[in-house]
Amino acid sequence: MRPLVAFTSGDPWGVGPEAAVKAMRDARVRRALRPLAVGPRAAWAAAGWRPALSPLMDPGVAPGSVRRAPNREGGRSSYEAVRLAARLAARRLVGGFVTGPVSKEAWRLAGAPHLDHTAFLKALTGAKRVAMMLLGGAFRAVIATRHIPLRDVPRAVTADAVVEAATLAHEGLRDGLGLSRPRLTLCALNPHGGEHGLLGREELDVLVPAAAALRRRGLRLAGPLPADAAWAGQAAGKSDALVALYHDQALIPLKAAAGYSIVNWTLGVPLVRTSPGHGTAYDIAGRGRANPEGTVQAALLAARLAGRAA
């Protein structure tokens, strides 16, 4: 039987509801799963949702009336939609869930204690370690740090962070995607891999020891390699996923290669959660221009993962 997969609205005044409605209508999605809409009924209806398309669960939080901008009501509404979908997944009432894009600013205005899905789901489930894996076409990358300013990245790149991200990537690829011995490549932080300390010591002091520790645990890991070489290697089929060190080291190549089809997969939580790799796009919300391909791919991955977990 096709798994039941929940779609959260994301920010009700962004493109999330429209992209999800389009994805639910997509023939590939209809063949793979049974959809459930989660979020404010008003936002779903405005995006074209109708009862014939899917059941709907409304958390009962009004989305407000400020359109195409971050606001407190929209933040609270999207936050509670994620909470409800996660509870459904935890109770095995749905096989997984696809989250629509949210605004960190709106969550802050709403007083949310967490500002992104990954941190929220870690707290909700009590997971000890989590990571984001981004997938697009033939490319995959896990990120060793979170959404932090670029100036804070060198301090956040620790051996523990690298080992944790690589281990979660290994387990996700093995258990979720069925790769028995996944091949990983660790990206360096500095240009040319630091040139033996001339351009930074993070490779010598942090990354090389972390890579050695991972190999001792039996992981198939190459690197650290300069990030451009690591991405070229994955393009040539030499690795199943990269261990990137910060957000843009992963997202810029992925978006250049895969565009709107990128998917974010949360590793480490005892739930199946995916999302499209784009933001709220307030500037085009409500105008019928949302590209649903990221939501389609996120839904197909959620259905695949739910099937393996069943």
Nearest CA among 83, 40, 2, 14 for reference residue 295: 14
Task: Supply the pLDDT for residue 71.
Answer: 87
18's tokens: 């429209």
| Cα distance between residue 270 and residue 275, in whole Å | 16
Task: Supply the pLDDT for residue 116.
Answer: 85
Task: Supply the pLDDT for residue 147.
Answer: 85
In the chain the domains, ranked by start, together with CATH numbers, are 1-127+269-310 (3.40.718.10), 128-267 (3.40.718.10)
In the sheet where 131-136 sits, what is the strand order?
56-57, 34-38, 4-8, 96-98, 273-276, 263-267, 131-136, 139-143, 241-244, 183-187, 220-225
| Cα distance between residue 263 and residue 240, in whole Å | 16
Three-state secondary structure call for residue 303 = helix
Task: Supply the pLDDT for residue 18.
Answer: 97
Task: Supply the pLDDT for residue 310.
Answer: 62
| Cα distance between residue 239 and residue 156, in whole Å | 25
Task: Supply the pLDDT for residue 155.
Answer: 96
Radius of gyration of the chain (CA): 19
Residues contacting 87, CB < 8 A, separation 6+: none
Note down pLDDT in tens along the chain; length 310 residues.
899 999 999 999 999 999 999 999 999 999 999 999 999 999 999 999 999 999 999 998 877 766 667 889 989 999 999 999 999 999 999 999 999 999 999 989 989 898 888 989 999 899 999 999 999 988 999 999 988 999 999 999 999 999 999 999 999 999 999 999 999 999 999 999 999 999 999 999 999 999 999 999 999 999 999 999 999 999 999 999 999 999 999 999 999 999 889 999 999 999 999 999 999 999 998 899 999 999 999 999 999 999 876 6
Nearest CA among 117, 133, 98 for reference residue 293: 98
Task: Supply the pLDDT for residue 134.
Answer: 97
Three-state secondary structure call for residue 246 = coil
| Cα distance between residue 111 and residue 72, in whole Å | 8
| Cα distance between residue 10 and residue 99, in whole Å | 6
What number of CA atoms fall less than 13 Å from residue 147's CA on the CB side?
Answer: 8
| Cα distance between residue 9 and residue 101, in whole Å | 8
